[in-house]
């Protein structure tokens, strides 16, 4: 048995041993086919869906595990995870995709497929659809019984967080620096609002209007794009200015050229702990794809819920019973 696989087994708790790629073969045999149809329709109609679904999945997994806790809607008794400050910018199209998939699957096999599994497969299939690697997704996750906005802080990296803090955050979840750099490559698709990088392009310091680590022409272009961002909060820029809709290694090449959009991304191109991996993935897309696929497999079974520790929700945005603070009452 290969050493990396042995290490992977040692890293995770026993719960994930209940997961397998054939989990729904008998109970919902058309699961993957239905997912594929819903995902394709949504991506073709809204090309930003891939980046949104990937981000949604990652945000969900990093806070308490891959358990769809991020999908729960706030009610009178509980402020849910999705309403935390760091999650408010998550795109509605990603939530819509999960709702569409869940609705289709409930018509075919009611009460069988979890929202957590839908999120995991959607992220994988969309990455592949826009040119990225295909990797195995083991199935059988249950949906969470808890979702609290107060749990988010300290688990999701913000655009201006220092690299030290980001590395520490990833390491606390058993993810190495190399895995962090590989996962950051997800920024090869998607966009960021001007408010997330405005401090890099306006009044950066007493000696420079913009962050000197940025390509000057790139900085100037962003300054023009974001001129009215304080009035129009929806103004945004692609994370990858060169190939924004394609999952490739251009993100790392951009970092080498001073074309990183977010400060936390650009910092990886110069820090001695991360630079070797940025350079490797910029030079070798296959190495990036392999590393990304491995890291996503690892993330996708982080603190998953099985058995009585979770449930299969009837609706992805609501628990099967009403929550009142820490307790639950039957609806």
Q: Packing angle between helix 92-108 and helix 49-62, nearest 10 degrees?
A: 80
Q: Would you say 271 is a known binding-site residue?
A: no
Structure tokens at 60: 């969900």
Give the catalytic positions in this structure: 59
Q: Would you say 193 is a known binding-site residue?
A: no
Q: Would you say 63 is a known binding-site residue?
A: yes
Residue spans of beta strands (DSSP E) within the chain: 191-193, 236-238, 322-324, 327-329
Structure tokens at 203: 């009044």
DSSP state of 91: -
**Cβ-based neighbour number of residue 108 at 10 Å:** 14
Burial class (CB in 10 A: 0-12, 13-18, 19+), 112: middle
Give the span between the Cα atoms of 235 and 192, in whole angstroms: 9
Give the span between the Cα atoms of 278 and 291, in whole angstroms: 12
Give the span between the Cα atoms of 173 and 171, in whole angstroms: 5
Structure tokens at 181: 């750099």
- H or E, element range at 329: strand 327-329
**Cβ-based neighbour number of residue 170 at 10 Å:** 21
Q: Would you say 96 is a known binding-site residue?
A: no
Q: Would you say 314 is a known binding-site residue?
A: no
Q: Would you say 241 is a known binding-site residue?
A: no
Q: Would you say 230 is a known binding-site residue?
A: no
Q: Would you say 248 is a known binding-site residue?
A: yes
Terminal alpha carbon distance of the chain = 48
Q: Would you say 188 is a known binding-site residue?
A: yes
- Residues with Cβ within 8 Å of 268's Cβ and at least 6 positions away in sequence, in order, are 163, 181, 184, 255, 260, 274, 275, 277, 278
Structure tokens at 59: 């945000």
DSSP state of 142: B
Give the span between the Cα atoms of 43 and 254, in whole angstroms: 25
Binding-site members for Ca(2+) are 60, 63, 65, 67, 69, 81, 188, 240, 243, 248
Binding-site members for heme b are 187
Binding-site members are 60, 63, 65, 67, 69, 81, 187-188, 240, 243, 248
């Amino acid at each position: 048995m290969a050493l990396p696989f042995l290490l992977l087994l040692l890293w995770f708790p026993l719960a994930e041993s209940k997961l397998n790629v054939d989990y729904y073969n008998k109970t919902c045999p058309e699961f993957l086919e239905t997912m594929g149809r819903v995902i394709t329709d949504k991506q073709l109609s809204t090309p930003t869906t891939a980046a949104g679904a990937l981000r949604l999945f990652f945000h969900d997994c990093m806070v308490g595990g891959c358990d769809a806790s991020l999908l729960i809607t706030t009610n009178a008794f509980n402020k849910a995870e999705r309403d935390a400050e760091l999650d408010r910018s998550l795109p509605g199209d990603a939530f819509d995709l999960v709702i569409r998939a869940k609705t289709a699957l409930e018509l075919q096999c009611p009460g069988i497929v979890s929202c957590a599994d839908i999120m995991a497969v959607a992220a994988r299939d969309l990455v592949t659809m826009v040119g990225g690697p295909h990797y195995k997704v083991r199935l059988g996750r249950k949906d969470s019984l808890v979702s609290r906005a107060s749990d988010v802080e300290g688990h999701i990296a913000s655009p201006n967080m220092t690299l030290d803090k980001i590395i520490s955050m990833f390491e606390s979840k058993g993810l190495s620096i190399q895995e962090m750099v590989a996962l950051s490559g997800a920024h090869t698709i998607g966009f960021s609002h001007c408010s997330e990088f405005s401090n890099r392009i306006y009044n950066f310091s007493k000696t420079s209007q913009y962050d000197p680590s940025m390509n000057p022409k790139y900085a100037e272009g962003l300054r023009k794009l974001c001129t009215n961002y304080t009035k129009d909060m929806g103004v945004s820029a692609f994370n990858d200015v060169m190939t924004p809709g394609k999952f490739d290694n251009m993100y790392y090449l951009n970092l080498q050229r001073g074309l990183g959009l977010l400060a936390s991304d650009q910092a990886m191109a110069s820090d001695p702990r991360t630079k070797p991996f940025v350079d490797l993935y910029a030079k070798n897309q296959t190495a990036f794809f392999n590393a990304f696929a491995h890291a996503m497999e690892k993330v996708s079974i982080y603190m998953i819920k099985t058995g009585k520790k979770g449930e299969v929700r009837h609706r992805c945005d609501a628990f099967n019973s009403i929550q009142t603070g820490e307790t639950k009452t039957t609806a």
